[in-house]
Structures are given as C-alpha cells and as structure tokens.
C-alpha cells in the first residue's frame, strides 16, 4: 500500500450515492469503451459472466449500492467505500468481512492506460465482476482472514500472493486449455497491460505455485515482467484450502527470488 496519493476520494451522500462530474463520467465511458472490446477475447469466461451480471453502465460511473445488490445475492459480498489509500490492516479487515474496498476517485487522462493506485475503474470494472464467482469470492475471503491474523512481516509475503493472483493472474481457458486468459484485476482494468500480459514477447509466463508467488518480488510502477498461470479457474478453491501460512514460513526460510527488474520500489 502506498503512503500518499495525488487523488482525492469522493464521499457518498444520501443512500450511498456519489455525485460524479461530467468529466469523471466521461473518463469512465472512455475507459469502458476502450477496454471492453479488448477483453471479449482475452478475459476469462468467469469474468465476462460476472460483468454481465453486474450490468455496469457504459456511460457513467456506477453507484456502489447497485453493485452491492448483485454481489450480496451471488456470493454475500459487498463493496466498501474507502479513501484513495488504506493500510494493510484495514484492507485485510474488510476482505475478512466480505467487503471489497473501492476507492471513490477515478484516474486522470494522463494515467489513462496504467495507474499505480487503485481507482474506482480498477476496483469495480477490474475486480467486482469476479466477486460474483464462488471460487474467486472464497479465495479472496480466505486471504482476508489470513492477512488479518498475520504479522506485519507475513503480510508482505501474502501481498505477493495477492499480486500474482487477484491483481495480475492469468488462467488457462476453460474452453481451450492451450489458450491463456486474464483474471487479474490489475490487467483487466489496464488497456496497456491487457495486451502486454498476453502478447508481449518480453513477459515471462509460468504455472502458478503458491510458494513461488510468495517469493517473487514485484514493482507497482511497471508492466509486469512475470505472470503466473492458474491451471483452471476452480484451482482458486484448492489454493484457498492450502496451508498458506505454512508456505509463508517456508518462503521466509528460502528467501526471495532475484528481482527481474531494477530493485527500486520492489515489494
């Protein structure tokens, strides 16, 4: 979690409604129009099914109470309006209570293709569709409970697992196992990384092993040099049921892998 933000979150008024400006709604509309065509052939089917269930507007920023109605009905989750940045403790507390944090600001046009901070497009368009899926919802809930009980040091290791799954994960297609698809919200909400993650010859793509993800450094301000691949989407159930904290202890003993980038800002 970054310590400061250049953005100012908005506060909801009556019944959880936020008054977005015409410019802010226009940025959402442009992001939506650019990203949806890219994802139709690149996102996993579970994401596209969730997107259909949420029925997000394409011309304006959606209101969180409308999203909550769908999430609660599907998996018992809801969103939580938060400032631009929150600390690890609050992040894990929310996830442990089936509340997904949504920062109530939207990126500027200068950061249209890639944003280091999670804005409402990232959280809602990138993550919320998959929270309608039982496997993704179960993994995220389990992760939150583990993180809430973990030490400060262990949370840093857990953050790497989250980064390489929920944020920047790839998965083998349900219809065609030879094809890779996107499920990580950091990719799904980034026009630039959507193409890079699947098509760049520079990126490394490896099958996911939890112990490897826990030991892999990452940076938040670059296209990812490495992506981990789920064998299938329901593997998230199996991953959630592993003794993850035992793997964290093992990872601490083994140490981190060498970074695939300049070590500045690595996590």
Give the model confidence (pLDDT) of 21-80 as tens digits.
999 999 999 999 999 999 999 999 999 999 999 999 999 999 999 999 999 999 999 999
- Longest Cα–Cα distance of the chain, Å, equals 52
**Residue 86 domain flag:** yes
The CATH number of whichever domain residue 95 belongs to comes to: 1.10.800.10
CB-CB contact of 171 with 89 (8 Å): no
User: Is residue 138 marked as binding?
Assistant: no
* Structural domain that includes position 82: 22-254
Q: Judge whether 232 lies within some domain.
A: yes
Which pair of structure tokens corresponds to residue 81?
A: 């309006």
Residue 6 lies in a domain: no
d(CA 233, CA 183): 9
Q: Judge whether 248 lies within some domain.
A: yes
**Is residue 10 in some structural domain?**
no
The angle subtended at Cα 29 by Cα 16 and Cα 188, nearest 5°, is: 90
Report the helix count and the strand count for the chain, using DSSP H and E: 12, 6
Name the residue with tokens 């030991």: 215
Which is it for strands 180-182 and 170-172: parallel, antiparallel or unpaired?
Answer: antiparallel
| Closest alpha carbon to 28 in 51, 5, 62, 78 | 62
CA distances 257 to 49, 163, 166, 167, 197, Å, are 36, 15, 20, 20, 21
Distance between CA 163 and CA 151 in Å, rounded? 18
Looking at the 3D structure of the chain, how many domains does it have?
1
Q: Look at residue 87 and give its three-state secondary structure.
A: coil
Within a domain: residue 97?
A: yes
Structure tokens given for 95: 């996830």
**Residues 184-235: pLDDT tens digits?**
999 999 989 999 999 999 999 999 999 999 999 999 989 999 999 999 999 9
Q: Is the pLDDT of residue 264 over 90?
A: no
pTM of the model: 0.94
């Amino acid at each position: 979690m970054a310590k400061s933000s250049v953005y100012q979150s908005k506060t909801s008024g009556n019944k959880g409604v936020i008054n977005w400006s015409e410019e802010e709604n226009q940025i959402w509309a442009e992001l939506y129009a650019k990203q949806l065509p890219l994802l139709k052939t690149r996102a996993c089917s579970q994401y596209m099914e969730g997107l259909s269930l949420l029925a997000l507007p394409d011309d304006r920023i959606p209101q969180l109470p409308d999203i909550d109605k769908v999430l609660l009905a599907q998996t018992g989750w809801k969103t939580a309006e938060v400032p631009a940045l929150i600390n690890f403790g609050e992040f894990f507390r929310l996830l442990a209570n089936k509340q997904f944090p949504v920062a109530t600001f939207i990126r500027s046009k200068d950061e249209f293709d890639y944003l280091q901070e999670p804005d409402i497009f990232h959280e809602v368009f990138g993550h919320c569709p998959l929270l309608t899926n039982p496997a993704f919802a179960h993994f995220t809930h389990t992760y939150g409970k583990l993180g809430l009980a973990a030490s400060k040091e262990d949370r840093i290791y857990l953050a790497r697992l989250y980064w390489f799954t929920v944020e920047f994960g790839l998965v083998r297609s349900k219809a065609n196992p030879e094809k890779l698809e996107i499920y990580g919200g950091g990719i799904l909400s980034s026009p630039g990384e959507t193409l890079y993650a699947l098509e760049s010859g520079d990126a490394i793509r490896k099958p996911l092993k939890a112990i490897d993800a826990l030991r892999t450094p990452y940076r938040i301000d670059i296209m990812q040099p490495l992506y981990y691949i789920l064998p299938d989407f329901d593997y998230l159930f199996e991953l959630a049921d592993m003794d993850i904290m035992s793997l964290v202890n093992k990872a601490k003993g083994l140490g981190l892998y060498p970074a695939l980038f300049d070590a500045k800002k690595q996590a």
